[in-house]
Structure 1
Amino acid sequence: MVRQQRATQSRDAIVRAAAHVIDRYGLKAATISKVSAEAGLSKGAVYFHFADKDALADALESEAARALDELAALCTGDHRPALTAMVETTRELAILLSRDVVIRAGFQVSCDRAEGGVPVLRQRLTAFLLGLLEDARRDGSLAPSVAVEDVVTAILAVTVGVQVLSRQPDTATEISGILDRFWRAMLPQLIH
């Protein structure tokens, strides 16, 4: 049991170290050597848990996907109105991106791996937002003239901006303010 705990702690330390390295340098410039130095572990320890940098990137992207799914479930719970869930999800995602380097790096990895295509996590967020907007249309709370694709595009643009800003230290308060101002301007245009 102690050996298993130690292995779990090492793996978590490696994932966190990889997140810091990727947050600082990007996926392309991240190396196993930099990750092992950041974690304070040997390269052999890193390779024990992860076959290569790609496996580390998979772990970060998976952590970010898990966090996004948990956030979506939390914000849509208790039969909240769809538009309320959308506002809360984007606000909480922004806070999460500004405070959690593993989640932030997971989103960065998703963007870096997209190679000109749409990042996997952005696809996941898009599907979730489209679903909420369609729910709002069905329940009559979304104005009939609203083009859901345009709303999702605007939200994604703000989310990418938040992702970039969140890499700067001490931006949580600023990011919350940006999201609040965005929703004060956007929400009246959406409500029926």
Structure 2
Amino acid sequence: MVKQERALRTREALIKSAAAAFDGEGFSVSSLTVISRRAGVSNGALHFHFDSKAALAGAVEEAAAQRLGLITLRGEGEPGTALQSLVDVTHDLARMLRDDEVLRAGFALCGDNAYATSERNLRLQWRKWVERTLERAEGEGGLAEALAPHDAVVAVVAATVGFEVLGSQDSTWLSYRTLTQFWQLLLPRLASPSTLGRLRAEGRDDVGAPRAAGLSS
């Protein structure tokens, strides 16, 4: 049991160290020697857990996908709140992208041309969740009458993935203020009049954040 726990800690340390390297330097430049040294283990220990850099990158993606799954889980909540859940989850995603190197690295890897063996794509995972959420919003009568859900998906995914890419160089793209302003701009076009007045562009649970002005139709 002690050996298993030690092996698990070593694996987690390697994933975090690799994520920091991939996030900061990219897949092709990152060195396994540097990754193992930053994790406090030998090259031999690294190769015991991962037989290649691609395998290590796959483990980073898997860990990032699990994090993304936990973030979007809150969007599967009570009926009648799909659009608000979409707003809330984008705020959560931006916050985690600012703070979590593993999540950032997972997104970065799916756009890294040097890493061609990926079996996962976090941006695709995100798009599918946005699609499901906006379909739920349409079923609830939450979308503007003339709005096609596909058009809403395109707008939301393009913007949020853009924030993710730009935020890797400038964290203000992932700030609370940026996300709030984005939703203040988009929600009046996205939501039905009966839904709009109940929505909060700043998110429901941003404790301590300055409250944005209320939305109006």
Tell me, yes or no, whether TM beats 0.5: yes
Aligned match of 2:134: 133
Aligned to 1:34: 34
Structure 2 vs 1, CA of residues 34 and 153 (structure 1 numbering), >3 Å: closer, same or farther?
farther
What is the Cα deviation at residue 173 of structure 1? 9.2
1:122 equivalenced with 2:123 (yes/no): yes
Q: CA deviation at 1:41?
A: 1.6
The whole-number CA distance in structure 2 between the counterparts of 1:50 and 1:186 is: 44
Gaps of 5+ in 1: none
Worse-superposed segment, 75-84 or 1-10: 75-84
- Give the Cα separation in 2 of the matches to 1:172 and 1:18: 25
The answer to whether the aligner puts 1:147 opposite 2:131 as a matched pair is no
Q: Is the 8 A contact 1:36 1:43 kept in 2?
A: yes
SS in 1 for 2:143: coil
Structure 2 unmatched runs, 5+: 193-217
Contact 2:107 2:122 (8 Å CA) reproduced: yes
Percentage of identical aligned residues: 37
Q: Which one is further off, 173-182 or 140-149?
A: 173-182
Give the whole-Å Cα distance in 2 for the aligned partners of 1:96 and 1:57.
19
Cα distance in 2 for residues equivalent to 1:39 and 1:166 = 26
Change (3 A) 1:24 1:184: same
Tell me if 1:189 matches 2:189. yes
Q: Corresponding residue for 1:68?
A: 68
Match in the other structure for 1:52: 52
Q: Which deviates more, 157-166 or 7-16? A: 157-166
Amino acid at match of 1:125: W
1:109 aligns with 2:109: yes
Q: Is the 1:98–1:172 Cα contact (8 Å) retained in structure 2?
A: no
Shift of 1:174: 5.7
Shift of 1:184: 0.6
**What is the SS of the residue equivalent to 2:59?**
helix
Structure with the larger RCO, 1 or 2 (CA within 8 Å, 6+ apart): 1
Q: What's the RMSD between the two structures over aligned residues?
A: 2.1
1:13 aligns with 2:40: no
Whether the 8 Å CA contact 1:162–1:175 is kept in 2: the answer is no
**Aligned residue pairs, count:** 188
Q: Please, which moves more after superposition, 90-99 or 104-113? A: 104-113
TM-score with structure 2 setting the length: 0.79
Distance 1:71 1:43 in 2: 33
TM-score of the pair, normalised by structure 1: 0.88
**Matched letter for residue 120 of structure 1:** N
Deviation at 1:48, TM superposition (A): 0.9
Q: Give the drift of 1:168.
A: 4.7
Counterpart position of 1:159: 160
More helix by share: 1
Amino acid at match of 2:181: R
Q: Is the 8 A contact 2:147 2:190 kept in 1?
A: yes
AA paired with 2:134? L
Instruction: Describe the superposition over 1:103-149 as per-residue Cα deviations: whole angstroms up to 9, x where unpaired.
Output: 1111111222686xxx7211111111111111111111101211323
Q: Which moved more, 1:76-85 or 1:54-63?
A: 76-85
The amino acid across from 2:11 in the alignment is: R
Q: Secondary structure at the match of 1:112?
A: coil
The CA deviation string for residues 17-60 of structure 1, in whole angstroms up to 9 with x for no partner, is 00110011111222212211221221111111111111111111
Partner Cα separation in structure 2 for residue 17 and residue 8 of structure 1? 14
Structure of higher CA gyration radius: 2
Partner letter of residue 48 of structure 2? Answer: F
